[in-house]
Each structure stands twice: as structure tokens, then as C-alpha cells.
Structure 1
Amino acid sequence: MTAYDLVWSDKVGYVWLAISIDPVYIDTGNWIESAAGLCYECLNDIALDVFGMTGNDHDFEDADPLELAEIKRRWKPYIGQLPKYAYLCDELLSRSK
């Protein structure tokens, strides 16, 4: 299982860390340059949760219609509160077939 953490670095600002729980290790760190960048990472993480829930180890490119529908359903409350970032959903979904 992978968890995420947003941490502050005096050198670069915010860093989004992907942390594996079992065994514990830091997989990747992404520099977050803007609020849109943070929203993108959060929306992508929601999608990855759906893929994990369905037991599929893939990304948007291989998502089936049911997975895409569930991702959109889970995004809805967030985009309802942050409508200016709705375009990020389209960017992520454009990676699907």
C-alpha cells in the first residue's frame, strides 16, 4: 500500500512524497509548484485508489468504463468545491483510451 504526504522543504517548497507502508520506504518525491499541481496529484491519487480497489495494476490508459465512472464520482465533491481546477480532470482523463 502506498500513502502520500505533503511536506515543506526550505530548499524547494512543497514536496509530495509517495511512501510505501510495507515495507516502509519513500518511493518518489514530486515538487509541487502550485495549487493546481497539488490538486492534480490529489485527483490522480483518487484515481489510483480506484485502480487499487478493483485489483488492477494499471493507469488511465487501460481504465475500463466502470473504473472511469467511479473515478469521476469520487472527484465530484472536490471539483464541486474547486471548480477552477475541473480542467485537471479532463487532463487526467485524456490519458484514457
Structure 2
Amino acid sequence: MPVINVSFQVLPQVPDGDIYKVVDKAIEVVQQSGVPYEVGPMETTMEGELDELLEIVKRAQQACVDAGASRVVTLVKIDYKPEGVTMAEKVAKYRLCLD
């Protein structure tokens, strides 16, 4: 199965309105998964096999509920290319080389 990218954004509904502490729990799930990832200001992008990445998204949603969210809206983007696609190849030209 090819390596692909999945980006997702969780939008938890929490009683006190402090969504950041809940979003942090979703990001912890990604960090603990061991897959390559990058956290952005609006979403987190991961790299790996589709089934594994979708399972991480499901666990991240549950982490939000476990952290007190009464509802979680999740937006998911999938970049699939049969021969595979990496985060690095998409952003390399924008990164500064620190030699």
C-alpha cells in the first residue's frame, strides 16, 4: 500500500469554550502513533498508510470526547497517489536549508 498524506482538523464543542486543551489531546494521539506528522495552525498532516491514518483520526476524535467535548466535527483531507506521496516532496522547495 502506498504512503499517502492525511490532514485533519478537529472542531470540538466544549462546555467552557476552551477548545485548545481538547485539541491538544487529539494531537497527543498523533504524537504517540509514531507516524510522521506536522502540526499546522489549522490542521495536522500525517504520512503513512490510509487505514492506519484513518484509525488515528478516529482515536483523535475519541480523545476529544474523553477530554470533555460533547461533539466533535472533524474535517479530513486525503492526498492519494498510487506510487505514494510524502510531505517532504510537497514542501521541500519552501523549506530553508540550514547548512
Both structures adopt the same fold (TM-score exceeding 0.5):
no
Structure 1 or 2: more helix by fraction? 1
Q: Normalising by the residue count of structure 2, what TM-score does the alignment of the two structures yield?
A: 0.39
Q: Normalising by the residue count of structure 1, what TM-score does the alignment of the two structures yield?
A: 0.39
